Structure 1
C-alpha cells in the first residue's frame, strides 16, 4: 500500500454515545458489519487538530494545520485470516474547501467546509465550527494522564480502529488503512457540548443533543499515515 497522506493528529476529543443499531443500518457499507463493545453500538463525535499535513509527502500551502470535526461509527470486516476493525463517517467538517474536495474525490468521504477555530489555554480545550448563524462547539477541561487504555477496555475500542470504510454508490465499498501507535488518554474533568446534531447530521441523530454521552475521551494523538484506498 502507498501512503497518501501523513500528518500529526493532536488533542482528540471523543464524545461517545450508545445508539440503537437500527439507526445506522442503512449507513453501513456493503462487506462490513457494525462492531459492538460489550453488546453496545456507539457513535462518536470527534474533534481534533491536523498538524504538518502532507499529501504524497508534499506540504500543501495554507493546508498544513487545521481542525476537523466528525461523527463516526464502528464497523468490522471479517476476513479468512483476520478481522479488520474500522470506522465509517457520517460527516467530516474541515475549514478548507480544497481539503474537503480532495477527500470527496479521492476517498468518497462526506466532507464539508465550514469556518472553524480552536483554542487551548492551560487545561481548557475548545473546538468551534459555524456557518453564518449556525454555530456549534465542544469544550473540555483536561485532567491527569490516564495512560494507554487497557486491552479490551472501552477506551481501546473507541481509539484502536485502523481501517476506514466508505459507501460509494449502492454496491461499492472502499477501504483504506490508517496507521498510528497506541494513544495516551487524559482524564476529562468537565465538558460542554453545544451541537445541534439534527441540523448537522440529520433527524435520526437529533436525540443526541439531549443525551449525555456515555463517555468523553481525550487522546494526546500522534503522527499518522493514511494509505491509498481500494475497492473491496
Structure 2
C-alpha cells in the first residue's frame, strides 16, 4: 500500500494525524501477540511516575509482541536490509500521557547487534541484542545476560471476523512513551488497523526473570497478524516532573 493511501485511512484512530512530515517508515510483519492481565501494583514497579497506567475495565495488561521489523528507513532514504530488517520482541504495557493513550516498553530485544545499536542511538529506546531464530510457525529468543528465553510453536488460524473492544484496546495504539534520565519521549505513529488472526499454540515457553510476576507461559489472550506498514514522526521530549507533580499528573 502506498504511504499516501495509508495516511488517508484514519477513521480507526483515536485522534487526528500529527502535523508536519513523518520521519520514518517501517514494517512490522508476522506478529505474534501474547497478552496477560496483571496486578497493577506489581506493574507500577516498572513504569515511571510521569505516566498513568491505562486500564481496561479497571484491569492492567502487559503484552509481549514477537515480530519481524523490515524496511525501516528515514523518510527520504532507502532501506538497507543488514540494518533495517531484523526480528524484534517487545514487552509493553499501556499508559496515558499528554491526553493520549499509548504504550510503554518494559523491554525491547533485537536479533541483530548493529540494528540494536543504530535504533538505540537514534530513538533512545532501550534496545538490547538477543539471539533470535525464526522459522515458519516457530519463534525462539535467548539472552544469557538477562537469562531471558522465549520459545513459541504455533499454528495460525482463521481471521478474526469481529474484534472485541479488548482486541482493539490491546492492538490499536498510535503513540509510544519512553523515559530517559531527564525526559519522557513521545513518538506518534500511524498505520491501518491491524489485520488479526486466531492463533493456536503447540507450546509456549516464556521466561523473563525480571518480569516473573507479570508473565507466564499461559497468556490470557493472544493474536497473530500478518503485519502493518507504519509511518512514525520524530520524537518530542518532555521534561520529567518531580515525583509529587507526577502523581497529580
Same fold, TM exceeding 0.5? yes
Partner of 1:142: 156
Work out which of the residue numbers 78, 84, 89 in structure 2 matches 1:69: 89
Q: Which of the residues 16, 41, 56 maps onto 1:37? A: 56
Give the corresponding residue for 1:9. Answer: 28
2:184 is aligned, of 170, 173, 180, to: 173
Say which SS state the counterpart of residue 59 (structure 1) adopts.
coil
Task: Summarize the Cα distance change of 1:108–1:193 in structure 2 as closer, same or farther, 3 Å threshold.
Answer: same
- Preserved contact between residue 53 and residue 95 of structure 2 (Cα < 8 Å): yes
Q: What is the CA-CA distance between 1:15 and the residue it aligns to?
A: 0.6
Q: 1:55 to 1:193 in 2, by over 3 A?
A: farther
The CA distance in 2 between the partners of 1:174 and 1:148, in whole Å, is 34
Q: Quick check: 1:98 aligned with 2:114?
A: yes
Deviation of 1:191 (Å): 4.4
Deviation track 1:19-45 (CA, whole Å, cap 9, x = no partner) reads 111122243345431111111100001
Task: Determine if the alignment matches structure 1 residue 161 to structure 2 residue 173.
Answer: yes
- Counterpart position of 1:49: 68
Contact 2:86 2:115 in 1 (8 A): no
* Runs of at least 5 residues in structure 2 that lack an aligned partner in the other structure: 1-19, 239-249
- State the number of aligned residues: 216
1:107 aligned partner: 123
Structure number with higher strand proportion: 1
- CA drift of 1:54 comes to 1.6
Query: Which residue matches 2:104?
Result: 88
> TM-score normalised to the size of structure 1?
0.84
Aligned to 2:4: none
Task: Report the 3-state secondary structure (helix = DSSP H, G, I; strand = E; otherwise coil) of the residue aligned with 2:83.
Answer: coil
Contact 2:205 2:217 survives alignment (8 Å): no
CA contact (8 A) 1:29 1:173 kept: no
Alignment deviations for residues 155-198 of structure 1 (CA, whole Å, 9 cap, x no partner): 101101110001111x5201001211101111113342212111
Normalized against structure 2, the TM-score is what? Answer: 0.79
Rate the CA distance shift 1:115–1:154 in 2: closer, same or farther, 3 A.
Answer: same
